[in-house]
Structure 1
Amino acid sequence: MLLENKTAVIYGGGGSIGGAMADAFAAEGARVFLAGRTPDRLEAVAARIRDAGGQVETAVVDALDAAAVNDHVDAVVEKTGGVDVSVNVITMEGLFQPLADIPADAFTAAIGRTLTTQLVTTKAAARHMVQQQSGVLLFFGGSDPANATAGMGNVQVGFDAVESLRRQWAVELAPSGVRTVTLLTGGVVDTFPDVPEMEGARQGIIDASPLKRAATLADVGAVAAFVASEKGRSIASTQVNISFGACHG
């Protein structure tokens, strides 16, 4: 198995993307620690993993609270001996409207919270990864300089900001053997509500791909598990495009 005897921490582990990564990591042998603010959602993912024979634990953690995040990571390391993979897939607060219509305070507050949670969780994991001289920090979303979609509001700006943060972490952590990788996505169609008004957005993602396909949750989990494993050890300080060519990072 790709991640046998590895420890993975997932912030936003009760969500669809976090759950998909958790399923894949556990199926590949990792011991998975799900963190988030909603116990019921965390436990639903954990139950699915346990039913499939995987190892998983959950914890209610506010990923904006540096002390709580540090305490959680320290507890994971005390229990397992280290942290091999850390990923924060907490949903960005998307303001999907023209930039001219978004109040400045709402825009900056949403971006600020996104960067804060990414900084807090990455710092907590990096502290241990530097000591053990190994580890993988995964990010999700990515930067697409060719983005030509109007009405994205703060979303692509936020992804670009997180990717800039990831690049800086790469510079600082690579000498300690820590890999930083972003999964660049053009959208995951099976996370969309199954309602008629979303059909246009779903089809738009498919049409943007030269292959006329869109990534699924299973695709996200499979690529994340490979990148996090030793099989993917040459993938570092970069984005991995999982958009079927729709994005141009």
Structure 2
Amino acid sequence: MLLENKTAVVYGAGGSIGSALAKGFAAEGARCVLVGRTPGTLDAVAEEIRAAGGHAETAVLDALDEAAVNDHADTVAARTGSLDISVNVITQDAIFTPLADMPVAEFARAIEKVAASQLLTTKAAARHMVKQESGVILFFGGSDHNQKQPGLGTVQIGMDVVESLRRQWACELGEHGVRVVTLLTGGIPESFPDMPEMEPQKQAIADATLLRRAATLADVGQVAAFVASDRARTMTSTQVNISCGAHGD
């Protein structure tokens, strides 16, 4: 298996994307630590992983609580012997108001939350990865510099902020053998609410791709597991494009 004897921490593991990542890691032999704020959703994902023969445990904490994040990372590393994979897919508080109409305070809060959460969780993992001279930090969402869609408010800006963090982390951690990679997506329709009014948006995602189909949650987990494995050991400071051609060079 690709991730045997590896420990993966997934922040936001109770959501659709987080659970897909955790299942992908577990299917390849990783010990998965599912982190979030809602015990019920975390337990449900953990049960699915265990039923499939994987290893999963849960931890309830706020990814904006620096002390809690650090203590948890220390506990995981001490108990398992390593912290090998870290990914934070906790969603930002998206504001779709046009920038010209957006209150400055609301904009600042939205961007601060996503930046602070990603910085805290990455710092916690990086401390241990630097010591062990190995590890993989994944980000999800990505940035398309050719983006021409209006009305996205803080969503794309937040992703661009995360991408700036990814580039800087890759520069600072590379000498310690730690890789930092983003999964670039054009949207995962399966992660949308199952409501009739969402169907046009789901179809629009597929229509925007070259393959005329969107990535699935299973695709997300499988690609993430490969990127986190030693078979992708040459990959860092980059985005892995899983948009089915919605984004391209």
Instruction: Give 1:83 shift.
Output: 0.4
Show the 5 A alignment for 1:110-149. 110-149=110-149
What CA distance in whole angstroms lies between the structure 2 residues aligned with 1:152 and 1:137?
26
- TM-score scaled by length of structure 1: 0.98
Q: How does 1:1-249 map to 2 (within 5 A)?
A: 1-248=1-248
What runs of 5+ residues in structure 2 fail to find an aligned partner? none
Q: For 1:14 and 1:193, locate their aligned partners in 2 and report how far apart those are by CA, in whole Å.
A: 15
1:93 shift after superposition: 1.2
Question: In the TM superposition, what whole-angstrom CA distance separates every residue of 1:59-81 from its partner, at most 9, and x where no partner exists?
Answer: 01110011100000000011101
Return the alpha-carbon distance in structure 2 between the equivalents of residues 225 and 111 of structure 1: 28
Farther off after superposition, 215-224 or 97-106? 97-106
Deviation per CA, 1:156-213: give whole Å up to 9, x if none: 0000010001100001000000000000011001011222221221111111111111
Greater mean deviation of Cα atoms: 121-130 or 90-99: 90-99
Q: Distance in 1 between matches of 2:106 and 2:248?
A: 28
- Number of equivalences: 249
What CA distance in whole angstroms lies between the structure 1 residues aligned with 2:188 and 2:97? 20
Q: Look up the SS of the partner of 1:114 in the other structure.
A: helix
Q: Distance in 2 between matches of 1:193 and 1:199?
A: 9
Q: Is the Cα–Cα contact under 8 Å of residues 145 and 248 in structure 1 kept in the other structure?
A: no
RMSD: 1.0
Contact 1:35 1:61 in 2 (8 A): yes
Q: Which amino acid aligns with 1:183?
A: L
Q: Measure the CA separation in 1 of the matches of 2:80 and 2:118.
A: 23
- Structure 2 residue identity aligned to 1:212: R
The percentage of counterpart residues that share the same residue type is 65
1:36-63: CA deviations, max 9, x gaps?
A: 1111111010011111111111001110
Distance 2:145 2:195 in 1: 30
SS across alignment from 1:222: helix
Once residues 206 and 101 of structure 1 are traced to their aligned partners in structure 2, the CA distance between those partners, rounded to angstroms, is 30
Counterpart AA for 2:101: D
Give the CA deviation at 1:100.
2.1
Specify every segment of 5 or more residues in structure 1 that has no aligned partner in the other structure, as ranges.
Answer: none
Aligned-partner Cα distance in 1 for 2:203–2:177 = 41
**Structure 2 letter corresponding to 1:142:** G
Q: 1:99 corresponds to which letter in structure 2?
A: L
Q: Is the 8 A contact 1:130 1:178 kept in 2?
A: yes
